[in-house]
Structure 1
Amino acid sequence: MRYPVGSCGWRGLVLAVPLESHHGLGTAGLGSARTFVRGVRPCKPLVHLRFPPARSGAGLNLPGGAMSFVLRCMQTSARALILSRPAVFATLLAAFGLVIASGVLAAFSTHQVAAADRRAAHAQQTLVTLNGLLATMNEAETAQRGFLLTHDDKYLAPYEAARPRYRQELAALARQFDQDLVARRGLEELTRLCDARFAEIERTVNLRREHGIAPALNVIESDEGWRVMQQVREKLTALQREELSGIAQLTATAAHQARTYELLHMALLAVAAALAGTVAWMLARRLHQLEGLIKVCAWTHRVQWEGKWIRFEEYLARRFNLQCTHGISDEAARQMREEIEKTPIDADPELKG
């Protein structure tokens, strides 16, 4: 007769194993065996086993009919320890998810940094174009003064080169300001001023060629060209200031995002490492628990302990300080009774006395 396990779980294993029942060994069942067999009484002995968590084995065998029962119970407990590991799987999954999230965050951070770099490069190119336009306007103005003073066409070479170039630079600015409505409005005003300035230069050059220096100087003295050029410089300076401000803002934003992403990345990796360490600790604990497995001889049912094969009761006493009660099984009692009944009384000197 087998009794269920008292408790079986992570905190230890308590077995209440009836080695044998007393059925068949009652007063009527023993019959004459009571007369000849001394010390055999109907009994229902139990083996009480308690395995603390620190020294619990993952599988044990007991001799006799209790062996298979205890072995199945301990194997069930081992399966609960090893196979029932949703916490381990969940922790591994969480760590893997955090690693993936860290990778995605790193990729997103790289993408953001690359986008910020592209915007900064675009702003720098715009600054180069604005500076080039200002240099073109200054070259045209210098060529105007040289021609008016000398009436030598060689001084008009920079002016002739500046005329097509300033329109190319305005077209480049229009492309660069394509997504900036405010800058496009400022560029329209700048285009008008540049056209007016080149028109004034062309008029003074024509007056110098056709009517001499006096009419051309009258136009110069009216300060019309000077006022237009001042407005051009102011407009270019305003656009440059806006681009520089944009670059500074982009740099600050990129630096802040980089710090934020770096902290998040480190936090995710730290949590993932902590989860991985937890999994490693749990697995190490499982392995430590499995180290308690004992080796039982299939033939003699002896246990190997400290290099020696000893009886199971001795193993329990040495390792767990447990004491076992003993009884006799129904089958053994029947065999003993049959042997006693088959043995003549005259053949046993002790029984004769």
Structure 2
Amino acid sequence: MKVQSVREEMFKRGCIALALASALTACGDEPAAGAQALPPVPVVVAEVKLTDVPLTTEMVGETAGFREIDVRSRVSGILLKRTYIEGQPVTAGQALFLIDPEPYKVALEQAKGTLAQEQARLNKARADRDRIIPLFKRQVVSRKDYDDTIANYEAAVASHQAAQAKVKEAELNLSYTQVTAPINGMASKSSQSEGSLISTSGENGLLTTITQFDPLYVNFSYSEQDRLNFDNAVKQGLIEAKDATNWRTHIRLADGSVYPQAGKLNFSDSRVDPATGTIRARAIFDNKNGVLLPGQFVRMTIDLGTRKNAIVVPPRAIVQSQADRMVMVVDADNKVVPRPVKLGSVVDSGVLIDKGLQAGDRYIVEGLMKARPGAVVKPVSAEEMKAINAKITQGAAGK
């Protein structure tokens, strides 16, 4: 939608209104006796017709990554190496950083040694258990000796399991010294320099950020008043609305170009932000070519549905007065009648008129500067008006 051009056109109409204000005052004055009546002023008129208009709304949105992951170290140590190119795509599982693995190799060897000791204890405890069971059945050994042997075996089993877990933990910690990408995406600048001491918490634990660009979100907000107006229009049958899950969106980039892929609304919040009086919403766009980046501000157009039996007039037909916006209607006697109107949304074909005009009305679209309220005008075609203006221009040039 060409909102800026509409505003410029409305400014021009405001200038015309200054002339009309004087005319409104003077139109009641009687012409002087013997004065020659002025010929009707030629104007181009259009007839109001009801039409179904695609209804859209425009707002500002900000792009955001589909997923944004903070890459953090899961073990502490000295950062030895960054193994990716900053600002370039990475794939899930790709190595990004290497933290000094030597302390964790030592810890793994210690855990394996402890496991070997516990395995030996378990083997002995199992053998003792296997020997004492038949002896106890023959009542060769006491109940206490039997119970002690069984308890030693069970303790050895538990210690062996704990030692196995320590080995797994040490293996995991060693694997964590190679920090890998959790998702596909674009990796940002490294947050830590090689040689830095990395911790598992706080700022020193953050290594970089990976953002998934495809698909990509556009976040925006709309007012509670807009929501109520839209819902009321739907209830009154003025708008044939699409299901919100099928609302298509288009975005215009900073250079004025339109992004070729249409998006789809996929989220609208269930509450109003009390600080701003707005409702958060989000659309999702395919971004396989990587044109969109997080943090961009874009102009967003949403296809809401169809305005049924709408009245649309071109912006140049609307005059701004001090109190109202008006359209200059031509009645059955070809007299100019200022008609206050209530404007609706701006659409591709012009401006919606919510109140003030009805089907069959004729209104001036060209020649407003000379069309005084109450004056008789002569409706002509656009081609005839063009010829009249050309003749006037030629006459002025010949003087």
TM-score of the alignment, normalized to the shorter chain, above 0.5: no
| Greater fraction of residues in strand | 2
TM-score range (shorter-chain normalised) is: under 0.3
Higher helix share: 1
Select the structure of larger CA radius of gyration. 1
Length-normalised TM-score, structure 2: 0.23
Task: State the TM-score, normalized to the length of structure 1.
Answer: 0.25
Q: Higher relative contact order at CA 8 Å, sep ≥6: structure 1 or structure 2?
A: 2
